[in-house]
């Protein structure tokens, strides 16, 4: 399905990403293996994802339902967990709950409700992260931190949803350490009320070291593993 060259590229990218994560863990004084990797496969073909699965990747991330749904269907036999990481419209929820195992981008009560009902409709359970905005002007998704607990409580009360943590994207052009320090504080606040919500999903190809330094338990890497991705939209 992929050329030998592409297979070698992916293998190389994955090894390099694991090495970077390991280095970041060491320099942050954290335990080796304490940071999980989600490989963000958006814009890359299902064949690339199949190679990742062969190489032992189990967690993959997608941000658009139109793209993710057919990809997940094509790879349904593989031991992959699909993380939905993009802004999610309620009219896409019924599709997303059919393949997603984790929804990381939950940022409004209405979405919690829609996910709960749709998951019940297909008799599935979902892990959920509350996405918080670290921008002064929320825009790239994520709830204002002042409303984080309201969303978290709504998730925790939903029988089909398991609250597993918090997710954020660092603001463009700002110091990621400052943003991820703020995120760590919010994560601690979340755990005060929801002790099992331990995942901190932060760090992308450009800022994973800052995220790991600030306590991320999961990074979401696309280009660092799979290579250049043309800008979307």
Question: Site residues (CB under 6 A) for ligand PLP?
Answer: 40, 42, 63, 85-86, 169, 204-206, 220-224, 229
Q: Which residue is nearest to ligand PLP (CB)?
A: 222
Q: Residue 169 is encoded by which pair of tokens? A: 């994207």
Q: 3-class DSSP state for residue 74? A: helix
Coil vs helix vs strand at 191: helix
What are the backbone dihedrals phi and psi of residue 153, each rounded to the nearest 5 degrees, phi first? -65, -40
User: Whose Cβ is closer to ligand PLP: residue 20's or residue 116's?
Assistant: 20
Nearer to ligand PLP, 85 or 179 (CB): 85
Which C-beta is closer to ligand PLP: that of 25 or that of 160?
25
Alpha-carbon span 214 to 233, nearest angstrom: 31
CA-nearest of 156, 172, 155 to 106 is: 155
CB of 77 to ligand PLP, least distance (A): 25
Residue closer to ligand PLP, measured from CB, 152 or 226: 226
In the complex, least distance from residue 11 CB atom to ligand PLP, rounded to whole angstroms: 18
Smallest separation (angstroms) from ligand PLP to the CB of 121:
26
Closest to 223 (Cα-Cα) out of 8, 14, 19, 3: 14
What is the nearest approach in angstroms of ligand PLP to the Cβ of residue 85?
A: 4
Residues 6+ apart with CB under 8 A from 233: none
């Amino acid at each position: 399905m992929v050329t030998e060259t592409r297979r070698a590229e992916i293998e190389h990218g994955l090894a390099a990403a694991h090495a970077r994560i390991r280095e970041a863990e060491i320099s942050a004084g954290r335990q080796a293996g304490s940071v999980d990797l989600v490989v963000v496969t958006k814009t890359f073909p299902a064949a690339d994802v199949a190679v990742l699965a062969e190489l032992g990747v189990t967690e993959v991330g997608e941000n658009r339902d139109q793209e993710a749904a057919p990809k997940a269907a094509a790879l349904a036999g593989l031991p992959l967990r699909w993380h939905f990481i993009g802004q999610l419209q309620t009219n896409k929820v019924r599709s997303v709950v059919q393949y997603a195992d984790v929804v990381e981008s939950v940022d409004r009560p209405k979405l919690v409700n829609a996910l709960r009902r749709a998951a019940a409709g297909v008799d599935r359970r979902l892990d959920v992260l509350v996405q918080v905005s670290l921008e002064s002007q929320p825009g790239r998704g994520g709830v204002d931190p002042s409303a984080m607990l309201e969303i978290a409580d709504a998730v925790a009360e939903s029988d089909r949803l398991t609250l597993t943590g918090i997710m954020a994207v660092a603001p463009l052009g700002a110091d990621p350490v400052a943003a991820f320090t703020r995120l760590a504080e919010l994560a601690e606040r979340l755990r005060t009320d929801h002790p099992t919500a331990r995942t901190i999903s932060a760090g992308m190809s450009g800022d994973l070291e800052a995220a790991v330094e600030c306590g991320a338990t999961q990074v979401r890497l696309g280009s660092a593993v799979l290579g250049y991705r043309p800008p979307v939209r």
